[in-house]
Structure 1
Amino acid sequence: LFADEVNFDRDYLDEARRYYTNIVGKYGTQVTTLLKKASALDIKMICPLHGFVWRKDIGYYLNKYLHWASYTPEETGVVIAYASVYGNTENAAEILAVKLREKGIKTIMFDVSVTPASEIVAACFRYSHLVFASTTYNAGIFVCMEAFLSDLVAHNIQKRTVALIENGSWAPTSGGLMRKMLSACKDLTILDQTLTIRSSLKENQMDLLNQLADTIASTVPRPAAVSAAVPGAIDNGAMFKFS
């Protein structure tokens, strides 16, 4: 019944994020406005229609909502979502993931062909950097990636750094088309460098992949060696009163 009776972070936070981002992720401005109105209230308890009742650590949960509503990444890390037909695009994505992890950057991967879009949308709201890798299909984006990006754009994703990988045997076009789709989002930094693969990653392209990994890494903020407070962090109690 109560959130303080379970390990919420371990067992339920991912589902809470997935629910919020997919149901109301698009409406961050409206949610922020509502939270500002609620900040004038003395909040004793949160009793949601579904989920646990919050009677303790209310500021922690509201802090999550403030992050999600403002499209501020919760964590520094890279989400790599890929659409691959024969495994070659997946292979390039996996090599990039290894390169980033070797640099100490948290990186998670999703195959858009088999992973529910709701899980990937939630991860994109959670992490600071996104990589989309797609083969070219009928001179367009592979259908699963196109459907996912349409869903992500509809959820109004913002404040992320994005890198692109395209693949195509004859005329790779998916990179430019993905860039065009994502350009509809506000405050996205889409890296100029697009890694282009023709069928499979060649040995002489490893330098280009390394350059892409270096470029992504150069935009990932490094934690300060000693820090009493996280700059730009949302203060749990800045807007709300709790009893």
Structure 2
Amino acid sequence: MNIKEICDGIYYVGVNDRTTHRFEALWPLPDGVSYNSYIVKGSAKTALIDGVELSACDRLRENLIATIGDVAPDYLVINHMEPDHSGSVRVLRSMFPDMTIVGNAKTLEMVRGFYGIADNVMRIADGDCIDLGGLSLKFVITPMVHWPETMMTYVAERKALFTGDAFGCFGALCGAVTDSDMNTEPYFPEMYRYYSNIVGKYGMFVGKALQKVANLEMDFICPTHGPVWHEQIDRVVSIYDRLSRYEGEDGVTIVYGSMYGNTEDMAEAIASRLAERGIRNIRMHNASVSHLSYILSDIFRYKGLIVGAPTYSNTLFPPVEAVMNAVKTRELKNRVIGTFGSFTWAPQAVKRINQLMDESKLYCDEVVSVEAKQAPGADAIAECRRLADSVADRILRS
């Protein structure tokens, strides 16, 4: 059991999942994931904040018994209805039939739709409060972070904000729960990956949510995945703020496909010149090898994006097209772009990459492109270096 008292009256009762291979059946979990659930215990009433995935119900029940005994929580507050959190709702209702399920109108509609539960529920609106006795729950509606029903719950007396999926990350918790008790560095790359994979499309709504809670005093941010943030709240909020505005850090992600090594030679020439120009953060992904999850994470993190591929069946090499379509879906913006490719007789790859770039409205200024017919010769390699110069110039002066 991983039960921790976060602060007076607030307890972590979540569980770790080190068994599931893919989050949402899509995204790799090499270090697992946590499903975070919390108890807020007032002098009069007790609230369970968010549930867990269905398979973890028994462990959640053990944690609840260890924390509050055989007494049922008075409320189950649902900040987010995705089944990795709400999957336990029907089981929790069978365990605690008198427990009131608390959510906004869209939440309760989903509770009915997913689990067939419509009785003993409490519909709340933005700004509503529940008094637990010495501790209170205030509800902040934050739609589309990243489902339409998402909201946050604030305990003003402890300056604790329960944020649902916002500020979360992949990675199971290793003993400690709060950032002050652990080395958090392994979680920050997983925060970028979590955001880009799961939340990335909804930057505008994340920005609105950040504005809405900006004036709240926060000593603890309690998300549904990953560590509880206490000492590093400023860093975490800054990352989410930057990502919500699609603002990349200095660096370049190179994504390429290559069947026989010719396009890869062009990618290596570009990377070498970027390094010569002083770009220190360079991430290279062979789209046939790297998982999309990690490619997206680096594309979201860094300001420069250079994409290359060979022509394949008179169109774009499929693994690279899959990456471009995933980026388009997430509505990423404001990237410094370069494109390159090779062909044997039909120059289609770069044309298609540029088309997808244009459809995505991905770039902030010009797009510099290079093509090589068959194997890249000295002239094509020189053009690759000039492409790298163009991207480096724009990153270094921004």
Common fold, TM-score beyond 0.5?
Answer: yes
TM-fit CA distance, 1:171: 1.2
Q: Secondary structure at the match of 1:194?
A: strand
- Is the Cα–Cα contact under 8 Å of residues 285 and 295 in structure 2 kept in the other structure? yes
Determine which of 348, 357, 368 is the counterpart of 1:182.
Answer: 357
Counterpart of 1:105, as a letter, is I
The answer for the alignment partner of 1:197 in structure 2 is: 372
Q: Secondary structure at the match of 2:254?
A: strand
- Is the Cα–Cα contact under 8 Å of residues 179 and 190 in structure 1 kept in the other structure? no
TM-fit CA distance, 1:187: 5.4
Determine which of 346, 353, 366 is the counterpart of 1:171.
Answer: 346
Give the number of the structure whose alpha-carbon radius of gyration is greater: 2
- For the pair 1:89 / 2:250, whether they are aligned, the reply is no
- Is the Cα–Cα contact under 8 Å of residues 82 and 111 in structure 1 kept in the other structure? yes
| Residues 143, 20 of structure 1: alpha-carbon distance in 2 compared, 3 angstrom cutoff | same
- For the pair 1:6 / 2:182, whether they are aligned, the reply is yes
Q: Secondary structure at the match of 1:46?
A: strand
How many aligned residue pairs are there? 221
Rounded Cα–Cα distance in structure 1 between residues aligned with 2:342 and 2:365: 18
Rounded Cα–Cα distance in structure 2 between residues aligned with 1:88 and 1:183: 25
- For the pair 1:78 / 2:252, whether they are aligned, the reply is yes
Rounded Cα–Cα distance in structure 2 between residues aligned with 1:185 and 1:125: 14
What does residue range 1-243 of structure 1 map to in structure 2 within 5 Å? 1-9=177-185, 11-73=186-248, 75-106=249-280, 107-186=282-361, 188-189=363-364, 191-222=366-397
Q: Secondary structure at the match of 1:50?
A: coil
Rounded Cα–Cα distance in structure 1 between residues aligned with 2:396 and 2:208: 29
TM-fit CA distance, 1:222: 4.9
- Is the Cα–Cα contact under 8 Å of residues 165 and 195 in structure 1 kept in the other structure? yes
Counterpart of 2:179, as a letter, is A
Greater relative contact order (Cα < 8 A, sep 6+): 1
- Is the Cα–Cα contact under 8 Å of residues 338 and 369 in structure 2 kept in the other structure? yes
TM-fit CA distance, 1:47: 1.0
Report % sequence identity.
31
Q: Deviations over 1:198-242 (max 9, x none)?
A: 12111233332222122122212259xxxxxxxxxxxxxxxxxxx
> TM-score when scaled to structure 1?
0.86
TM-fit CA distance, 1:59: 1.4
Rounded Cα–Cα distance in structure 2 between residues aligned with 1:200 and 1:144: 21
Rounded Cα–Cα distance in structure 2 between residues aligned with 1:145 and 1:44: 43
Higher mean C-alpha displacement, 202-211 vs 109-118: 202-211
Rounded Cα–Cα distance in structure 2 between residues aligned with 1:170 and 1:191: 27
Rounded Cα–Cα distance in structure 2 between residues aligned with 1:124 and 1:8: 22
Rounded Cα–Cα distance in structure 2 between residues aligned with 1:167 and 1:205: 10
Counterpart of 1:163, as a letter, is G
Rounded Cα–Cα distance in structure 2 between residues aligned with 1:141 and 1:128: 24
Rounded Cα–Cα distance in structure 1 between residues aligned with 2:314 and 2:256: 17
TM-fit CA distance, 1:99: 1.1
> TM-score when scaled to structure 2?
0.54
TM-fit CA distance, 1:40: 2.5
Counterpart of 1:168, as a letter, is F
Give ranges in structure 1 of 5+ residues lacking alignment. 224-243
- Is the Cα–Cα contact under 8 Å of residues 269 and 385 in structure 2 kept in the other structure? no
TM-fit CA distance, 1:46: 0.9
Give ranges in structure 2 of 5+ residues lacking alignment. 1-176
Higher helix share: 1
